[in-house]
Amino acid sequence: IGVGLVGFGLFFILFGILLYFDSVLLAFGNILFLSGLVFIIGFKRTFTFFFQRSKMKGSSFFLGGVIIVLMKWPLLGMLLEAYGFINLFR
Protein backbone atom coordinates (compact mmCIF):
# COMPACT_ATOMS: atom_id res chain seq x y z
CA ILE A 1 0.00 0.00 0.00
CA GLY A 2 2.80 2.41 0.92
CA VAL A 3 4.73 1.95 -2.31
CA GLY A 4 1.53 2.48 -4.30
CA LEU A 5 0.76 5.68 -2.40
CA VAL A 6 4.28 7.00 -2.94
CA GLY A 7 4.08 6.08 -6.63
CA PHE A 8 0.74 7.81 -7.11
CA GLY A 9 2.03 10.79 -5.11
CA LEU A 10 5.03 11.17 -7.39
CA PHE A 11 2.78 10.75 -10.44
CA PHE A 12 0.43 13.50 -9.27
CA ILE A 13 3.34 15.80 -8.43
CA LEU A 14 4.91 15.32 -11.87
CA PHE A 15 1.53 15.66 -13.59
CA GLY A 16 0.83 18.83 -11.60
CA ILE A 17 4.16 20.29 -12.68
CA LEU A 18 3.46 19.39 -16.30
CA LEU A 19 0.12 21.18 -16.12
CA TYR A 20 1.81 24.46 -15.17
CA PHE A 21 1.85 23.95 -11.39
CA ASP A 22 -1.77 22.95 -10.84
CA SER A 23 -2.22 23.46 -7.11
CA VAL A 24 -4.84 20.72 -6.62
CA LEU A 25 -2.71 18.02 -8.23
CA LEU A 26 0.40 19.13 -6.37
CA ALA A 27 -1.42 19.19 -3.03
CA PHE A 28 -2.91 15.75 -3.65
CA GLY A 29 0.49 14.42 -4.69
CA ASN A 30 2.14 15.80 -1.55
CA ILE A 31 -0.48 14.24 0.70
CA LEU A 32 -0.20 10.87 -1.05
CA PHE A 33 3.60 10.97 -0.94
CA LEU A 34 3.78 11.74 2.78
CA SER A 35 1.10 9.19 3.70
CA GLY A 36 2.89 6.55 1.61
CA LEU A 37 6.12 7.33 3.42
CA VAL A 38 4.33 6.79 6.73
CA PHE A 39 2.96 3.44 5.49
CA ILE A 40 6.39 2.29 4.33
CA ILE A 41 8.61 3.15 7.29
CA GLY A 42 6.07 3.79 10.04
CA PHE A 43 4.87 6.86 11.85
CA LYS A 44 7.56 6.95 14.53
CA ARG A 45 10.46 6.55 12.08
CA THR A 46 9.00 9.18 9.76
CA PHE A 47 8.61 11.58 12.65
CA THR A 48 12.16 10.98 13.91
CA PHE A 49 13.54 11.35 10.36
CA PHE A 50 11.93 14.73 9.76
CA PHE A 51 12.56 16.14 13.23
CA GLN A 52 16.23 15.30 13.82
CA ARG A 53 18.23 18.25 15.05
CA SER A 54 20.65 18.11 12.11
CA LYS A 55 17.83 17.96 9.53
CA MET A 56 15.57 20.61 11.02
CA LYS A 57 16.33 23.25 8.37
CA GLY A 58 15.52 20.91 5.48
CA SER A 59 12.43 19.57 7.22
CA SER A 60 11.07 23.02 7.91
CA PHE A 61 11.53 24.11 4.31
CA PHE A 62 10.03 20.87 2.96
CA LEU A 63 7.00 20.81 5.25
CA GLY A 64 6.59 24.57 4.90
CA GLY A 65 6.52 24.08 1.13
CA VAL A 66 3.78 21.47 1.51
CA ILE A 67 1.74 23.93 3.58
CA ILE A 68 2.32 26.71 1.02
CA VAL A 69 1.14 24.39 -1.78
CA LEU A 70 -1.97 23.55 0.25
CA MET A 71 -2.62 27.29 0.57
CA LYS A 72 -2.70 27.53 -3.27
CA TRP A 73 0.75 29.07 -3.90
CA PRO A 74 2.14 26.17 -5.97
CA LEU A 75 5.24 27.72 -7.52
CA LEU A 76 6.63 29.13 -4.27
CA GLY A 77 5.68 25.95 -2.42
CA MET A 78 7.44 23.68 -4.88
CA LEU A 79 10.57 25.83 -4.76
CA LEU A 80 10.59 25.60 -0.97
CA GLU A 81 9.98 21.85 -1.13
CA ALA A 82 12.83 21.36 -3.58
CA TYR A 83 15.23 23.34 -1.40
CA GLY A 84 14.11 21.40 1.67
CA PHE A 85 14.44 18.07 -0.15
CA ILE A 86 18.01 18.92 -1.16
CA ASN A 87 18.86 19.89 2.43
CA LEU A 88 17.26 16.73 3.81
CA PHE A 89 19.19 14.31 1.62
CA ARG A 90 22.60 15.93 1.21
Q: pLDDT tens track of the chain, all 90 residues?
A: 999 999 999 999 999 999 999 999 999 999 999 999 999 999 999 999 999 999 999 999 999 999 999 999 999 999 999 999 999 988
Q: What is the pTM of this model?
A: 0.91
Indicate the burial class of 80 (C-beta count within 10 angstroms; 0-12, 13-18, 19 or more).
buried
Query: What is the total residue count of the chain?
Result: 90
